[in-house]
Structure 1
């Protein structure tokens, strides 16, 4: 195993840390062969400050969840954990991870709107029949829910933007599904009340969805939107005005806390040609652990000429900093170069944590030996 070149230190120092989308701290000189110690210290300080603030935000988020009514807390917690499960999303790419972070805020917003909608129709729906109405709607829409797992997921998420994209290549098949669903007799139970409520929401169909339905001769699509909106609203009919008001206030703060740390983007930025960077901060969930780890993720890629203008070799550095409760901040840098060569550098806040982790190095090397990557160096400090 060879020791990887010291250039990785320079790449790590070339960080651009965006904080709350208000200020940007650029650290390091990408063309300097040797990083400046003061600059590296500044990077560490910025990351430590960011992770501490994110940890505080995560704690506040937990307190906010506890302030919600039990049913809404369960749904909101599920939204947070399903969309931000780092172990599932990270292998799919950082863009997927960033989009998952953004989806949390969008889904929480839809939950907040459903709570508000429930208050607007509360006078028309006796609480004693809300559950039977929900069951009747589910039975009525069953042909659609069972037709395709992707359609089922998008309808449950109330994501008609992605639904229209998904069905765009096979409008005729979806049209047949809609005709089959809405060609059924409307549920006998509370039929008049269901029709009245669907009619209320039919007046709120988004303009772009209405235009898509008209363009593709899908009048049932707007009816489907109204039915799904009613379906999402009915579970919250039982909230009294005070509970609904408090839930909306808490959900607004949760959404704001998500947006404050959504820094990932499809866009990459660079100060020089052939360089790209990507960074984001987020709570990171691991399997079977309900408590998230505040995480900072940064990627820096430098593509340089190897033998000529058409022979470019990229070198990529992935830095993941996790804030843990028991051993402090864990800082890991992966360097990938020459197609399949990789070096790993890990730093722990305490020497005891570093020594304990060092015992696992042979196992890590053994596992990586089975992959297409060739480990050139792994160091722990």
Structure 2
């Protein structure tokens, strides 16, 4: 009977969620962002690792900027598998040169590199033997010289902003997923133990929760990050270790009321051990509010990571973190190129808002009082 009731409540919650326009819209937005995060290197114009192909001569260009690009292939042979390229980027050893013009002369190609304003670039010559054998002048012009458009412009190092934004989604999703996973494992475990056993165990865990809760989140994250060292995985662990307290308090409160239910008493009378009772009967009926908290924690983790990257102790260069992109370009706001900081800022805002809206929609859908 309990299973049937649970199924009917799940269906009712799903129907309510489907009626929430902003919740459904947020769900599909997050789903699309997740696909982009997985396929980032396939979608990004610059598929090099971390989209770190620099062209200093075309730095800080506005959205839609186009330039002619000459690619000089490397002699080395890449041993990367397709799988490795898709998930970790291409080990790009080719040399790319933004140019204004080019012309062929016997065994050389003379190019005028791109320069800013009215300055005339000093021409340089490149031997045709730098290109693969068997390629004629027309084939070289068609295959290795072409117009490159930067849809969102370039950053202060001349890197493609669109590529950096697409790959930056990976950082945000990774930090949110891993941090929430750590917080759920710790929070649900400690909250369930505290609520179910009570007594001194409850007192100790609540003391631990209150001590952790009293420390400012950002300060605690900075302390953990400095203790573990700067880096990608250190931030994941640090953020996760600061988010479990809210989950633990909610789970404890749920377990305190659920363990008084008749089906729990019946399970005890049948001689079931504590682990089975908690896993099979208590936790499944106390996770609804945890789902809502997880959505909010996902958004919170993205904001914390962005803040840490802005402070320089989050994801380290050359990783494409949205917070680090804002840090690199916030001074450009007063230099007439505010878009360099606004674009990653809008990315953070839209993703955080989507998780908050889906959290609100889940709260309304799971509210059994209505």
TM-score normalized with structure 1 length: 0.23
Q: More strand by proportion, 1 or 2? A: 1
TM-score normalized with structure 2 length: 0.24
